[in-house]
Every structure is written in structure tokens, then in C-alpha cells.
Amino acid sequence: MQTSVGAMVTNSAKIFGDKTALVFDSKTWSFNDIDRMSTRLALQLKYMGVRFGDVVSLYSPNCPEWIISYYGIMKAGAIVNPLNLMLTASEAAFAISDCNAIGVIGASDRLENLMDFLPQTELLFRVSFGISTDSEIVRFSELLESAVDVSNFSIDAEVSGLSISTIAYTSGTTGHPKGAVLSHEAILLNTAMTATMHMRTASDVVVSALPLSHVYGNIVMNTAIAYGMTLVLHKSFDATQVLSSIEVNRATIFDGVPTMYAYLLDHPDIRNFDLSSLTRCTVGGQVMPVAKMRKVEEIFDCQLLEVWGMTEIGGLGCTH
């Protein structure tokens, strides 16, 4: 078993190489692509002053850059602070300050909104996935395009299974959101157990619109990368787009929450989509009525696996 989440990506690249790891907006990235690009980012972060144990916040909707940044931050020996998009700018700024993040990577609009609540002097850097009107914000694409030699890259020697990989903020039942601290080992073990319980293998194609910043979407992403699956990622949920994606990509797994299934079941053309490739689906995040679960199994003609998890454990706690 790998000792760090960053090493997991490199190991998958060695095994699965040019196989498609990610599909997003009809574009594809191989396992080699994800590994190489995240390594390039890790080197650039080190050049910008990121050191072992530093915290870097990640604030963006689902996109390939989010995945590359997630693994790149960990490869640099730093800690990922994935910010939930449901947080307001002031709440996100609180989390960034609370975990002592030294930089933020994310969508340009999110980064600009943050600055109303977070003085620029508190951050070493800000990296944007898009074009920003703020000249102090570095473009993500420019970092990846810069000439860096990745051939001799090695993950920080201080990183071990017990090193902190993530500080993820829960919604918090009272007061401010609270940061849950997770080790690399916690993420890797939950990834392995989730893949085992759901029989997820390299033969699977997974469709997901779950937010990568949420523990559910995050474990779906990690199991896909770790075990050689193809992840068909959506920026956000749209019933028609998801049904079409399952059909076109011949998906074997769809991961969702009850609200998503409600919209899918209510879609007027659901029976016109070919969903026969699905072998199982998962549902979590909320309680789902048994009648609705049975309806999903009837329409989708596959097993629906119920899951329960927590931010504090980095993934699933139980599944049946």
C-alpha cells in the first residue's frame, strides 16, 4: 500500500499509463496526464515557497484543475484545505485563516470574492484557474506551462502515512465550521475499503456530479484514481446531462444523493435513455425513502447501494 496520496497517483500512472482517467466536457486526461501535471504543479508550489506541513486552500467548482491541484498540493508535502462551495465568502475566509493556509488555488471569481474578507497580506500566493482582473493573482495555466523538469521529482521525504493530508471543514452544528484533520493513511485506507465494498475495479466507468470538495465526491474521485477507473466528472448536476453521460460513456456506476435521484426519476424522457451499462449505483448524504430506492432499482435495473460517511473519517463509514 502507498504511504501518501501523492504517491498513489504516481503508482496508478505506472500501472494504467495512457488509459483515460478523467472525462470532463468531452475532453479526456490519462493517468499519465494527471500524474505529470500534478507533479509540475507540486514543483511550482515548492518554488513559490510551499514547504512540508503548509496548508493550501482549494476553492472551486468541479473541474480537472481541482483534481490536479488536490494531488499537486499533497505531492509538494503540503496539506489540502478543500473549501465547500456552499460556504459564503466570509465563511471560506474564516476557514482559510483558521487553518493558517498560506495560499489559495481556485476559480477566479471565488478568489476575488474572498479578498473582501481576507487581506492579501495574509496569503503567500493566489492561483486562479481562469483569467482574473487582479494582477496579483497567478494563472494556473501559466504555472503548468512553465518549463520545469519533472523527471527527478520525488515527494517530500518527510511525508508519511501519519502526516496530515487534509483539513476539511464540516458545516458545524454551532458557530463556525470546524476543521477535521485527516492523515494520508486515513484517506488511503478509506479509498481501499470503499473500492473493496463496492467492488470498484479498473473495468468501471464512474459518472459523478458530486462536489469534489465534499467527502462523498472526494472518495469517489480517489477510488477512481487509485484503482484505474475512468471518472466522468460533471461541473454540477443536471438530470439530462447525467442521463446522457451514462448512456454515451457506458457508465457502470453512478454516485449520487437522494435529490439527484429524485430529479432523474422525474425526468420525462428517462426511459428513452439507455442505462443498461449500469451495474450498481450508490446513494448517500441524506436519508432516502425505501419506495424511492426501489423505484431507482426498477428504472435503472441495477442494485442501489446505500452509503453513510463523515468528513471526519475521510469517506464512508458503512455501506449496504
Residue entry with cell 473493496: 196
Q: b/e per residue, 190-202, with b = 16+ CB within 10 A? A: bbbbbbeebebee
pLDDT at 135: 81
* E-assigned strand segments in the chain: 20-24, 27-30, 55-59, 79-82, 101-106, 125-128, 138-139, 164-169, 179-183, 205-208, 230-233, 253-256, 280-283, 303-310, 315-319
Q: Are strands 27-30 and 20-24 parallel, antiparallel or unpaired?
A: antiparallel
Tell me the HSE value of 163 on the side-chain side, using a 13 A CA sphere.
24
From the first residue on, what is the mean pLDDT of each consecutive set of 10 residues in the chain (320 residues)?
A: 90 98 97 96 94 97 98 97 90 93 94 82 88 87 84 83 95 79 97 96 98 97 98 98 98 98 97 97 94 96 96 92
* pLDDT value at residue 121: 62
Q: Give the type of residue at 76.
A: A
Q: Give dist(CA 36, CA 144) in Å, integer.
A: 10
Evaluated on CA atoms 74, 80, 84, 89, the torsion sign reads negative
Residue type, position 23, single letter: V
Do residues 235 and 210 lie in contact, with contact meaning Cβ atoms separated by under 8 Å? Answer: no
Phi and psi, residue 273, nearest 5°: -90, 145
The answer to whether 138 touches 69, Cβ cutoff 8 Å, is no
pLDDT (0 to 100) of residue 259: 97
Question: Is-contact 225 95, C-beta < 8 A?
Answer: no
- pLDDT of 176 reads 79
The reported pLDDT for the residue numbered 115 is 82
Judge contact between 253 and 207, C-beta under 8 A. Answer: yes
Residues 6+ apart with CB under 8 A from 277: 205, 246, 247, 250, 251, 252
Question: Based on the number of CB atoms within 10 Å of its own CB, is 312 exposed (0-12), middle (13-18) or buried (19 or more)?
Answer: middle
Domains of the chain: 31-183 (3.40.50.980), 186-319 (3.40.50.980)
pLDDT recorded at residue 158: 87
Identify the bridge partners of residue 255 per DSSP, sorted by sequence position.
208, 282
Helix (H) or strand (E) holding 3: none
The x, y and z cell numbers of residue 125, run together, are 500566493
CA distance 186 to 308: 16
Give me the torsion for CA of 64, 66, 70, 71, rounded to 10°. Answer: 10
